[in-house]
Each structure stands twice: as C-alpha cells, then as structure tokens.
C-alpha cells in the first residue's frame, strides 16, 4: 500500500513538473513572440495577430503562477513595511510585471521543481535525472547566451565565462544536487534584484491625478454639466473655488486667486483676471472664472512635462551584467588559479579552484543586505523604491533642494500686520479671520491660525450678506468687511494710504504677499504673509554640510529675492531663481557635466524632469503624483530629518557589504589551498560555500540603524590567519 502511495505521489510530481516545464518554456517563447508582434503592429501595414486558444490557456496558467508569486512570495522578500508603503504610493493601481520579472519568477519555480524531482529520485529510484538536467540547462541558458554575447559581440572575456565553465563541469560530473541548489540561489538573486527596483521607474500616471468626472461649461448663457471627455477646444469652462483647473486656457471673465506652486514653483498664489492664461494642474483658491479652453489632454503644459518624463532615457543594464558587475575584477585571479590547478592537479582541480571564488557569493549576499536595508528604511518611514540608491548615495557630493514645498511648507505664515488709522493689529486680524473662517485655502488657514494663537473672539456673520467674488465681502451688524488683494480694493474704490503702499512695494521686491482688510469702504490695514520654513530645515542643512561635507543648492521657480533670502538663512552654497521646469533639469545636467554627483529633492510637477535626471532623487509622501512616481526615494513622514536616517542607512549598508567582501576573500584563498592539497575537491568547495554563505547571511541581516550596530565590528584575534591575510591583501583595497 505504501509503495502504491509513493508511486502515485511520484506520478503526480512528474506530471506537475512536466506541465510546469512546458508552461514556463512556452510562456518564455510567447513573451518573445509578443514583443516582436508589438513591433510589427507598430507598422500600420501589418494587421494585429490574435493569439490561439492554446496560447491563451497557456497565458492564463502562467498568469495564475505569477499572481501566486506576487501574492505570497514578493511580500516576504520585500518586507511588509515596504510593501505597505508601496501600496500607499500606488493606491489601487496594479503594477504590470515586466517580461524580465516574469522570467525570473519562472526560473525560481523551476529550481524548486528540480529539487523536488531529486527528492523523488532519491526515494523511488525512478530515472528522472534527464528532467533535472533539462531544467538545469534551461535555467543556465541565459548565462550561456550572455557569455556568447560578451565573447562574440563585445570581444570581451568576463567572469560569467568562468562561472558557466564551473557549472558545466559540475553538471557533467554528476553533481546534480549542488547544481540545483545553485539554480535556486540564482533564481532568488534575480527575483530579489527585481523586487529592489519595483516602482523605480514605472510609467507615469496622469499628471493631473484623478480627472474630474464632470465639468461645467456655459452654453447660450446657461451653465451645463458635461462629462470631462466631451470638453472641446473653444468651450467656455466655469471654474469655482477649490477646483483643479483641468485645461490650459484664457480667462474671459472673472477673477481668482490661483495656486500654481506645484507646476511653476511660485510660493505665493497668483491673481488672475480677464485676459490672463491659466494652466492645467493648478488650483482655484478663491474667486470664480470663465475660461476659454485652448488646450486639453496631452496638449497642456502639465501633460507635456509628463511626456518629457515618459521619454527620458532610463538608466539600467542587463540583469546578468548587473549581477556580476561588482565582482568582475576577480576574473583574472580566478582564471590564474584555475590554470594553476589544472597544471598541478588536472581538470577537476582546476574547475574546483574556479569555484573557490567566494567573492561571487557577494552577489546574493548583496541582495540580502539590500533587502535588509530596504526593510529597515521602510520601518523608519523611508520608502526606497530603487535599491541602487544605496549604492550611488555614497558618491553624492552635491545636494539640490527645490524651494517651495521642499524647504518651505505649503501654508504661509503671518510675519506682520500693518494697521492704519484708529485700528490696531488685533482689529485687522479679527476682521480678516471673521471673513475667512469658511475658506480652506492656505492664506485663510494662516490668518485663522494666527487669530487662534491670539485667542481672538470672532463675531457672528450675517450669512445673508456673505459674498465670495474677487475677494470676500461680509456684513457684521452694520459694518461691511472686505478682505482680498490690492486689485479687489481698487475695484471697490478703496484708497491705500502711503505707508501701506510702501509696504506693498517692498513685498513685491521681497516675494511676499499682502492681504488687505477694509471696513465700511476704508482700509483698516494689511496682513503680510511669507512662506513658512520647515522647522527642521536649518538643522538638517547644517548636518549635511558639517557631517557629510555636501555642497547645497536651491533651485526654484520663485522670484530672486525670496530665493536669495532663504539661501542666505540656510547658509547654502548657491541658488538658482526664476527657473522653468525644463531649466531645472538643465541645471542638474550642468552640475553633472562639471563632474558632480547630484541628489535632487523636490515635490512638484515642475520638479519631475529634474528628479529623473539626478543621480539620486528624493520626494515626499505628500508630493504630487508625478513627483513620487519619478523619485527613487519617498520620505513617508514628510520630514527632511529623514535625510539623516537615509545617509546613516547607506553607510551601514556599505559597511555590511565591505565586511562580507573581506571574509569572502579570506575564505577564497584558504579553500584554494585546501583544494590543491586535499581530496574531495568539490565537496570542500561547496562546504566552504555553505559556511561562507551562512556567515554572510548573519552579517547581511544584522540591524542597520540600531545604535549598537551602526558601526559593525567583529572582535577577532589580530594574530589570526584571517587578520593576517586581510591586512596583507586588503588594507588598500577599494571595495566596489
């Protein structure tokens, strides 16, 4: 009975393995076919090809497997905190799997299938070794293809040739179990590499975020609601308070205060009236507009920025080349050792010495260390979307900040209240707060916040006389209060005293704004507002200069005066003002041409192109969708102090890598000597591999940001052979 059960289980394993091999192999083939088909369909003369029912069934089976990996394996490897942060960033979007990621998932699955077949062979003796060899060849095929490309296309010899030779001798020599374990490790490495770059450079979502389902247009003097998709050029669009402007156009009538900072970088809202242009992705803070639609959809200024982003050349290399780039320098020592082993002990000894290069083991250990770092970062509120940041951040020498929204907050603050005639500061502030108490725009919130600080009691408004137009007009008992801009005061025929006019002229120069308050057609005073500096900005910029030795710059679309003032306050090395979105990217390019490694921090639509161009890019969780999509790192707490944590995390990550590198070199030299002098050569090699890898995992998974383990040191005997070898070979080694 037991034998029957074993045979039945074996048959099930064989059937499942066969089906999986066929499915994965044909799915790989179908992926290539689809890529070629997409290229063919780009030619209008070629009609699209419908997949056969068999291919559709095959695709469904593969999709089910991919979903299984995404649901159960990816969260384990990526870490729950990072997975949650990624979900918060992308919302309900489903991230499409790339062809490379699908293939790595298949090869990982095939590695485990081969392991299961070996176990089946061990217990039943059924001759299934040919299937195991088939899986081994299939999983190693990309390595052999890359070896061929490197040798005959680039005329270059690399470490991948020696690794392929080592595995070929191992498989031909009958070391199938070791080969299968290697295949699983290889699949895991490729899978982890994919995970560490999830969300790094995905296609941008709509630059406007969520489009309005309905808009209001004027037809024969009547406001009519229509679906956004039906909006046409030349339509008269009606825009009210709080609405995002979805088109580019010209104002026909009305007045409004428009927030353009996410698109242009201007720190203060801009007054707009008849004849002025408005841009998509900006917000109406106050007032009402009738706008003639001139551009919509992909023709708007905001959408053109997205188009530039989508066509920006991305950096990246072939996965196999990327995997071995950090250990390529060991190829000639490895080859020399193998040749010496061949001459001294024959082919087996030579091949075994090729396997003694444990520095190659840094590849999977680097991935494990990286996963540890990404998970640690997420636990500290830092979402590292692209793991390569932890490699490149150590080389950064210049850090460039966007001004508005990055060094300053979205909400301004009151820096002065200028009262006139018989009124005092509290009178002016009380009048303004009373009028603005229903408003939600940043200026209103700043006024209400200051009134709350001063514990001012606000009178009750007669709602029958509450009006929002070019400004705000309210009636309290027998008094009429007006709050708004200088233009609003002019329209209401309210004169400005000379002292108030001088304040207005100074504010224009300094890049600040004035909100005017009048009572009964006479000016009561003006409230001066300025951008609010982030409370942590001064401390973090000092730390970056003192502890990291970085050059700090500001790039802003704002005016010269406020940008210069902020640069001086934060002791920056320089600043650039009045910079257009494409100009920001150009300045990043200029700094890079000068030989600098640049990190850029921004949060707006106008920052997105520069974020793509920088060597390292950082944004905030509360930034625009385009900025968080473009950035490689997202600070989930919206706090610049997290930069300190990010740099400390990078340093600890590099220390872990360095320590693993040193121990790998030591073990490589010792095992090479053992292979030359002792029998059971492949057993020695793989045994030391296991020891080295277990030790490496211990180092790779150490806490990175704990105070007791920031600087990782291992106490050891200074006279030990490990210490002597490391001192002799590595004191002056620059670990890559």
The string of pLDDT tens digits covering residues 458-482 is 887 766 455 666 678 888 878 888 9
What does pTM read for this prediction? 0.68
What's 299-346 look like in SS3?
HCHHHHHHHHHHCCCCCCCCHHHHHHHHHHHHHHHHHHHHHHHHHHHC
The predicted-structure confidence for 374-403, as pLDDT tens digits, reads as follows 888 888 888 888 888 888 899 999 999 998
The predicted-structure confidence for 215-241, as pLDDT tens digits, reads as follows 888 888 888 888 887 888 888 888 887
Question: Does the pLDDT of residue 582 top 60, yes or no?
Answer: yes
Q: Using 50, 70 and 90 to split pLDDT, how confident is the model at 54?
A: low
The predicted-structure confidence for 669-703, as pLDDT tens digits, reads as follows 888 888 887 877 767 776 777 788 788 888 888 88
* Mean predicted confidence (pLDDT) in 402-423: 87
Question: Does the pLDDT of residue 201 top 60, yes or no?
Answer: no
Nearest to 360, CA basis, from 110, 186, 556: 186
Question: Does the pLDDT of residue 490 top 80, yes or no?
Answer: yes
The greatest distance separating any two alpha carbons of the chain, rounded to the nearest whole angstrom, comes to: 108
Q: Which of 11-15, 79-83, 557-561 comes out lowest in average pLDDT?
A: 11-15
Q: Running DSSP on this structure, what letter comes out for residue 51?
A: P
Q: Using 50, 70 and 90 to split pLDDT, how confident is the model at 587?
A: very high
Q: Who's near 518: CB < 8 A, 6+ residues apart?
A: 481, 482, 483, 489, 492, 494, 524
Q: What pLDDT is recorded for position 318?
A: 45
Name beta bridge partners: 237: 217, 291
Question: Degrees (nearest 5) of the Cα angle 394, 406, 377?
Answer: 45
Question: Does the pLDDT of residue 29 top 70, yes or no?
Answer: no
* Mean predicted confidence (pLDDT) in 202-208: 41
Nearest to 81, CA basis, from 338, 482, 381: 381
Contact 284, 245 (CB under 8 A): yes
The predicted-structure confidence for 275-304, as pLDDT tens digits, reads as follows 888 888 788 877 788 899 888 766 666 666
* Mean predicted confidence (pLDDT) in 9-17: 54
Q: Using 50, 70 and 90 to split pLDDT, how confident is the model at 79?
A: low
Q: What pLDDT is recorded for position 91?
A: 57
Nearest to 433, CA basis, from 509, 365, 507, 525: 525
In angstroms, how far is CA 275 from the centroid of its own chain? 39
Residue 16: CB atoms within 10 A of its CB come to: 12
Q: Who's near 49: CB < 8 A, 6+ residues apart?
A: 37, 40
Q: Using 50, 70 and 90 to split pLDDT, how confident is the model at 306?
A: low
Long-range contacts of 128-132 (CB under 8 A, 24+ apart): 128/14, 129/176, 131/14, 131/17, 131/18, 131/21, 132/176, 132/180
In order of start, what are the domains of the chain with their CATH numbers? 2-196 (no CATH), 214-310 (2.70.150.10), 312-381+650-736 (no CATH), 408-533 (3.40.1110.10), 536-636 (3.40.50.1000)
Report which of residues 486 and 730 the model is more confident about.
486
Q: What are the structure tokens assigned to 227, written together?
A: 């679906």
Cα separation, 357 vs 352, in Å, equals 10
Q: What pLDDT is recorded for position 215?
A: 85
Question: Does the pLDDT of residue 580 top 70, yes or no?
Answer: yes
Average pLDDT, the chain: 76
The predicted-structure confidence for 516-553, as pLDDT tens digits, reads as follows 999 988 999 999 998 888 999 999 999 999 999 999 99
Q: Which of 478-482, 573-577, 621-625 comes out lowest in average pLDDT?
A: 621-625
* Mean predicted confidence (pLDDT) in 504-509: 86
Q: What pLDDT is recorded for position 467?
A: 60
Q: Which of 77-81, 368-372, 604-608, 650-654 comes out lowest in average pLDDT?
A: 77-81
Question: Does the pLDDT of residue 615 top 90, yes or no?
Answer: yes
Q: What are the structure tokens assigned to 513, written together?
A: 């704004």
- The residue assigned the tokens 């057609």 is 521
Nearest to 677, CA basis, from 341, 173, 332, 335: 341
Q: What are the structure tokens assigned to 85, written together?
A: 């942060």
| % of the chain residues with pLDDT over 70 | 75
Report which of residues 461 and 13 the model is more confident about.
461
First to last CA, the chain: 59
* Mean predicted confidence (pLDDT) in 262-286: 75
Continuous segment of H or E residues that includes residue 616: strand 616-620
Nearest to 336, CA basis, from 319, 310, 356: 356
Residue 371: CB atoms within 10 A of its CB come to: 21
Q: What are the structure tokens assigned to 419, written together?
A: 């009262």
The predicted-structure confidence for 334-355, as pLDDT tens digits, reads as follows 778 878 888 888 877 887 787 7
Q: Which of 476-485, 547-556, 561-570, 619-628 comes out lowest in average pLDDT?
A: 619-628
Cα separation, 352 vs 161, in Å, equals 15
* Mean predicted confidence (pLDDT) in 608-620: 89
Cα separation, 472 vs 365, in Å, equals 63
Highest-confidence segment of 88-92, 593-597, 711-715: 593-597
Q: What are the structure tokens assigned to 216, written together?
A: 């209001």
């Amino acid at each position: 009975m037991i034998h029957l059960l074993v045979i039945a289980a074996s048959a099930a394993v064989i059937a499942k393995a066969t089906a999986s091999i066929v499915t994965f192999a044909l799915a790989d083939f179908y992926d290539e076919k689809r890529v070629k088909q997409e290229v063919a369909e780009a030619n209008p003369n070629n009609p699209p090809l419908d997949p056969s029912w068999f291919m559709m069934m095959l695709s469904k089976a593969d999709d089910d497997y991919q979903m299984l990996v995404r649901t159960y394996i990816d969260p384990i490897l990526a870490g729950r905190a990072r997975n949650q942060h990624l979900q918060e960033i992308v919302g309900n979007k489903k991230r499409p799997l790339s062809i490379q990621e699908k293939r790595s998932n298949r090869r990982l699955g095939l590695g485990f299938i081969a392991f299961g077949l070996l176990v089946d062979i061990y217990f039943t003796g059924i001759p299934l070794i040919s299937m195991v060899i088939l899986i081994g060849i299939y999983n190693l095929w990309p390595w052999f293809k890359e070896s061929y490309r490197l040798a005959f296309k680039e005329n270059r010899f690399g470490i991948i040739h020696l690794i392929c030779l080592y595995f070929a001798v191992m498989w031909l020599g009958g070391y199938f179990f070791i080969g299968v374990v290697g295949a699983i490790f290889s699949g895991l490495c490729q899978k982890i590499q994919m995970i560490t770059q999830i969300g790094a450079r995905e296609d941008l979502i709509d630059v406007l975020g969520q489009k309005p389902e309905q808009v209001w247009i004027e037809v024969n003097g009547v406001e009519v609601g229509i679906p956004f998709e039906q909006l046409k050029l030349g339509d008269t669009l009606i825009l009210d308070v709080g609405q995002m402007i979805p088109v580019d156009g010209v104002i026909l009538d009305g007045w409004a205060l428009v927030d353009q900072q996410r698109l242009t970088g201007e720190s203060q809202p801009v007054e707009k009236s008849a004849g002025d242009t408005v841009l998509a992705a900006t917000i109406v803070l106050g007032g009402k507009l009738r706008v003639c639609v001139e551009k919509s959809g992909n023709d708007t200024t905001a959408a053109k920025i997205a188009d530039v982003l989508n066509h920006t050349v991305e950096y990246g290399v072939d996965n196999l080349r990327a995997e071995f780039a950090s250990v390529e320098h060991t190829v000639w020592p490895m080859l020399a050792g193998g040749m010496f082993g061949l001459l001294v002990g024959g082919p087996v000894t030579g091949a075994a010495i090729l396997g003694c290069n444990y520095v190659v083991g840094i590849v999977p250990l680097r991935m494990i260390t990286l996963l540890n770092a990404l998970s640690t970062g997420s636990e500290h509120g830092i979402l590292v979307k692209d793991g390569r940041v932890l490699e490149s951040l150590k080389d950064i020498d210049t850090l460039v900040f966007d001004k508005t929204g990055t060094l300053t907050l979205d909400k301004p603050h009151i820096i002065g209240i200028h009262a006139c005639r018989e009124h005092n500061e509290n009178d002016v502030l009380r009048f303004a707060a009373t009028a603005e108490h229903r408003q939600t725009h940043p200026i209103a919130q700043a006024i209400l916040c200051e009134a709350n600080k001063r514990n001012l009691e606000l009178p009750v408004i007669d709602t029958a006389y509450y009006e929002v137009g070019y400004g705000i007009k309210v009636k309290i008992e027998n008094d009429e209060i007006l709050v708004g801009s200088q233009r609003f005061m002019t329209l209401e025929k309210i004169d400005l005293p000379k002292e108030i006019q001088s304040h207005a002229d100074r504010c224009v120069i300094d890049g600040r704004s004035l909100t005017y308050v009048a009572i009964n057609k006479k000016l009561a005073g003006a409230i001066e507002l300025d951008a609010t500096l982030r409370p942590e900005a001064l401390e973090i910029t000092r730390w970056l200069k003192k502890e990291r030795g970085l050059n700090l710059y500001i790039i802003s679309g704002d005016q010269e005066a406020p940008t210069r003032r902020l640069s001086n306050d934060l002791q920056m090395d320089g600043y650039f003002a009045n910079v257009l979105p494409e100009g920001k990217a150009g300045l990043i390019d200029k700094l890079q041409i000068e030989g600098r490694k640049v990190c850029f921090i921004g949060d707006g639509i106008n920052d997105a192109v520069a974020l793509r161009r920088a060597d390292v890019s950082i944004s905030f969780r509360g930034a625009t969708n385009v900025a968080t999509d473009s950035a490689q790192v997202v600070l989930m707490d919206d706090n610049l102090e997290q930069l300190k944590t990010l740099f400390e995390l990078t340093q600890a990550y590099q220390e872990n890598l360095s320590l693993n590198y040193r121990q790998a070199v030591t073990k490589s030299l010792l095992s090479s000597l053992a292979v030359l002098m002792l029998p059971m050569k492949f057993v020695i090699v793989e045994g030391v591999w296991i020891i080295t890898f277990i030790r490496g995992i211990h180092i790779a998974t150490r806490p990175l940001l704990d105070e007791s383990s920031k600087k990782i040191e291992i106490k050891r005997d200074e006279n030990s052979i490990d210490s002597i070898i490391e001192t002799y070979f590595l004191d002056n080694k620059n670990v890559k």
